[in-house]
Amino acid sequence: MTSSSDVRSPARTGAALALRGATLGRPDAPVLDGVDLVVTPGEILTLVGPSGCGKSTLLRTLAGLLSPLAGEVGQDGRPLTGPAADRALIFQEDALLPWRTLRANVELPLAIKGLPRAERRRQAAAWLERVGLAEHARHLPHRVSGGQRQRAQLARALAGAPRAVLMDEPFGALDAQTRAGMQDLLVEVLRGTGATVVFVTHDVDEALFLGDRVALIGSGRLTAVRDVPRPRDRSAHDDPARLALRRDVLSSLGT
């Protein structure tokens, strides 16, 4: 499946993101110190940690919305200077423009790229179809459910063909069932995009299901980065290696 989509868009590979000795936060309030992290092209890296630990700060820094207070942040070996279309950001909620229909929201990154109207329509329709929102394309965001809004955000972020997708607790406001469905949908729609994903969550099970690797954050620093056995495999939840990792993660977050 991956190979066929690679044929369709041979040029699209994920971005490599790196932080070296970075201090992150706002000038008056640094929250993370000495962060060294390399995100390899095409992987899904999940970031877990208690709320307020600086997960979002790290993500916003990778997006280019915040500059590091010290150290370096880079993409593909070059320093990162600001936000750009190849690093899409997905928020927890309410990031769709409320005056635009779902379709118009998905068309926005395409319009920014300067695609002609007909092409925008076509691609937006295809993305909405892919996330199961074809029926709701002409609805305003407040007319659809929270889960549907997040699907639309996913479609909007991916429509711009980013090389990295940065997700800030995107399913955090959803109920457990919708959340599991959204995780499956995410895995499904990411296929063939080749995009690197950094996924912030405070839900350990979500982090272990989605991530190739999981990074733990606590008490002002990045404490560990662990490989996840059998990622994105629903039947792996009782795999002994996975259970051991889960125990480790929980205990390290507990302290």
Partner 1 sequence: MSGKERASRGRGVPRLGRYALRAASLAVALGVWQLLTSLDIDLWLRFSQFPTVADVARTFADRLSGPDYWTDLTDSLTRILTGFLLAAVLGVAVGVLVARSRLAEDLLGPVLEVVRPIPAIALVPVAILLFPSNEQGIVFITFTAAFFPVLVSTRHAVRALTPMWEEAVLTMGGGRWRILASVVLPGALPGIFGGLSVGIGVSWICVISAEMISGQYGVGYRTWQDYTVVNYAGVFVGMVTIGVLGWLTSTAVELLGRRLTRWLPRTSYVAAGRSPRRVDRAAAAVPVSPTTREGVPHDQLV
Which residues contact partner 1 by CB under 8 A? 60, 63-65, 83-89, 91, 94-95, 97-101, 103-104, 107-109, 112-113, 138-140, 142-143, 160, 166
Q: Which is nearer to partner 1, 39 or 216 (CB)?
A: 39
Residue 134 is classified by DSSP as: G
Smaller CB separation from partner 1, 92 or 223: 92
Q: Which is nearer to partner 1, 91 or 171 (CB)?
A: 91
Whichever of 109 and 194 has its CB closer to partner 1, that residue is 109
Question: Quick one: angle between helices 102-113 and 117-130, nearest 10?
Answer: 130
Closest CB 194 distance from partner 1, rounded Å:
18
C-beta of residue 154 within 8 angstroms of C-beta of residue 90: yes
Residue 45 burial (CB < 10 Å; 0-12/13-18/19+)?
buried
How many CB atoms sit inside 10 A of residue 158's CB? 22
Distance, in Å, from the CA atom of 167 to the CA atom of 207, rounded to the nearest integer, reads 12
CB of 20 to partner 1, least distance (A): 22
Please calculate the CA angle 10-191-86 and round it to the nearest 5 degrees.
60
Smallest gap from residue 42 Cβ to partner 1 (A): 20
CA separation for the pair 194, 61 (Å, rounded): 22
Nearer to partner 1, 173 or 236 (CB): 173
Smallest separation, CB 202 to partner 1 (Å): 19
For the bound state, the minimum distance from the C-beta of residue 87 to partner 1, rounded and expressed in Å, comes to 6
Residue 201 in tokens: 């969550």
Q: Least distance in Å: CB of 15 to partner 1?
A: 13
Tokens encoding 178 = 């919708």
DSSP strand pairing (70-75 vs 17-26): antiparallel
Nearer to partner 1 among residue 68 and residue 141 (C-beta)? 141
